Chain A
Amino acid sequence: MSLDKETVAKIAHLARIHVPQQDLEPLAGELSKILDWVEQLNRVDTEGVAPMTSVVAMPARWRADAVTDGGYPDDVLANAPEAEHGFYTVPKVME
């Protein structure tokens, strides 16, 4: 499977990663190779086999509905590039 430059640009945009124009072509090649490698799995006959999304055969652990966390806004904001009045602040986003 081979990706074109446009697809790579779109993926980069969705992930908000800036990729310079000259890097798109080589990146498309690299990503295509990875996809080719993974695609070998398609050769396995999986007819009648249920999709597996986890390798551990156990049911999900549940948590009781109790408040056990939170209450440390300063810690939450400690790594924020910018914060004000207890809020994260980001460049203005408006619809």
Chain B
Amino acid sequence: MTMLEGRTGPWEVVIGLEIHAQVISNAKLFSGASTEFGAAPNSQVSFVDSAMPGMLPVLNERCVAQAVRTGLAIGAKINLHSVFARKNYFYPDLPQGYQISQYEEPIVGEGEVVIDLDGGASKTVGIERLHLEQDAGKSLHDQSPNQSFIDLNRSGVALMEIVSKPDMRSADEASAYVTKMRSILRYIGSCDGNMQEGSLRCDANVSVRKPGGELGTRCEIKNVNSLRFLRQAIEYEAMRQIEIIEDGGTIDQQTLLFDPGKGETRSMRSKEEAHDYRYFPDPDLLPLELTPDFIEAQRETLPELPDEKKARFMADYRLSPYDAAVLVAERETADFFEDVARGRDAKLAANWVISELFGRLNKAGKDVTDSPVSADSLGGLIDLVADSTISGSIAKKVFDDMFETGREAAAIVEEQGLKQVTDTGEIEGIIDKVLADNPDKVAEYRGGKDKLFGFFVGQTMRASHGKANPQMVNELLRRKLDG
């Protein structure tokens, strides 16, 4: 278990996360206005979204379906009866003066998610609930010295708030949880998971305790929009709390903001009183009733989920838990790998995709969907290695060329004359020259300095420009030196 070291000994960090995931839908949760990102200000706002008097909300069927599908994907209980409630607070980006949310009766109840940790380990994190609610508008504070600008395009877009149990014990686990949840949401297409554009945001509840002790008082860090900031915010906040307690103080329950510039959390004073939300059932909306048929129909639409895929990759392709977890994190990556692996050595395919392709993609700032080398082309390269047309080290050079030019492996090998030399006579010729050039080393070797064998292999490979078949070089060298 991960512990933080204070002056008085080890401390355990307890973390629960609330994820706000923007639902993929064409129209908003309760109105017919578009959800598209990046439109001109207030151009995607209906009179429902701007809270004109007398306008009534009507629930979007697809948003309900997306919440149910997400619930099913995390193995959660779907509630046949749920209720929309008003959460009252005052802020300029919330024209209604309340957010339509779900409170006592959410659409989705308890579930769980398995997170992937370093070294192929995993851990189960409990989900408390998932509910549907409206997003707020957007405030711009940097357009004018004494005014804030409000754009209501986002106002009323559907959000799923997914609340975890306080099951995480380190910043790494919290980050792994968000990563896994993002992966699931993207697999099923209920949220695009784009943290930069704000379609996935998260609040972290952090407290500390002595190992095995009572839960401490928690503080909530609001609106963290990257995994790096999430880790930094949790680590900073945990140490802040440990120092206060070790200095004899107590933790006040409060809402905090993470300042990425300073790398610290600070209090959000203005919303102190906002905790009195005076929830009550929204009289404009009837209870949401679902039928078992509707839920089953949603289940039918779910694709193979990351955990199922991971298990299948481990069983069918004999991949390690780590490799399998890396490959299934994104559906596109998993599909790419399966295209490469079809009819080939799967472990070899996994190595090429993970070590060679991902490395180069990362460096180029691309992902697998805009890879310059297609799955078929990479497969073609692996085939050339498998049938000994080229050696593994030549293959890496060929791959560099393919990545650069997008050409096929066979064409590059042909043009540059990279075919592996498997002709015994030709390799023998090279070896004879190497031995003739190094009579002293040959004498030393024959005098008992076995380690020099590697030297001869290296020289022979170099003399062949890497094209000699390494296995044959080994065999022929042994015969000539030892024979």
Contacts and interface: CB of A to CB of B under 8 A. Distances in A.
A90 to B, nearest CB: 4
Interface string A52-82: 0110101111111111111101011100001
A75 B52 CA distance: 11
B262 to A, nearest CB: 14
Given A14-B276, A62-B64, A65-B25, A85 B41 contact: yes
Interface stretch (B12-20, B139-147, B228-236): B139-147
Given A70-B32, A88-B150, A90-B150, A63 B61 contact: yes
A76 B287 contact: no
A77 B62 CA distance: 29
A38 interface: no
Contact of B34 (A60, A70, A91): A70
B199 interface: no
Interface of B: 25-27, 31-34, 40-50, 58-64, 83, 88-92, 139-141, 143-152, 257, 268, 270, 273, 276, 278, 281, 283, 285-289
B149 A60 contact: no
B301 to A, nearest CB: 14
Contacts of A75: 47
A14 B92 contact: no
20 contacts: A59-B286, A59-B287, A60-B287, A64-B60, A64-B62, A65-B26, A65-B27, A66-B26, A69-B27, A69-B32, A70-B31, A70-B32, A70-B44, A73-B45, A76-B45, A87-B149, A88-B92, A91-B146, A92-B148, A93-B141
Interface residues of A, number: 39
Nearest to A63: B58
B62 A93 contact: no
A3 B283 CA distance: 25
Nearest to A73: B42
Given A66-B26, A89-B147, A94-B141, A60 B92 contact: no
A16 B145 CA distance: 24
A75 B50 CA distance: 10
B33 A62 contact: no
Contacts, number: 146
The 8 A-B pairs at the shortest CB distance, nearest first, are namely A68-B32, A65-B62, A70-B33, A69-B32, A87-B149, A69-B46, A53-B281, A60-B286
A86 B145 CA distance: 18
Contacts of A71: 43-44
A47 interface: no
A76 B147 contact: no
A45 interface: no
Contact of B60 (A53, A63, A73, A95): A63
A13 B270 CA distance: 13
Contacts of B91: 93
What is the interface of chain A mostly: helix, strand, loop, or mixed?
loop
Contacts of A16: 90
A13 B139 CA distance: 22
A67 B287 contact: no
B150 A76 contact: no
Q: Which of B91, B270, B285, B286 has the most CB of A within 10 A?
A: B286
Given A54-B287, A63-B60, A92-B141, 19 more contacts: A53-B287, A61-B58, A62-B61, A62-B64, A63-B27, A63-B32, A66-B32, A67-B34, A70-B43, A73-B43, A76-B152, A82-B147, A86-B41, A86-B42, A87-B150, A89-B150, A90-B148, A91-B148, A92-B145
Given A59-B289, A91-B146, A69 B41 contact: no
Nearest to B33: A70
Nearest to A51: B281
B92 A90 contact: yes
Contacts of A63: 27, 32, 58-61
Contacts of B144: 84, 89, 92
A80 B88 CA distance: 21
Nearest to B46: A69
A54 B63 contact: no
Given A63-B60, A66-B26, A67-B34, A84 B288 contact: no
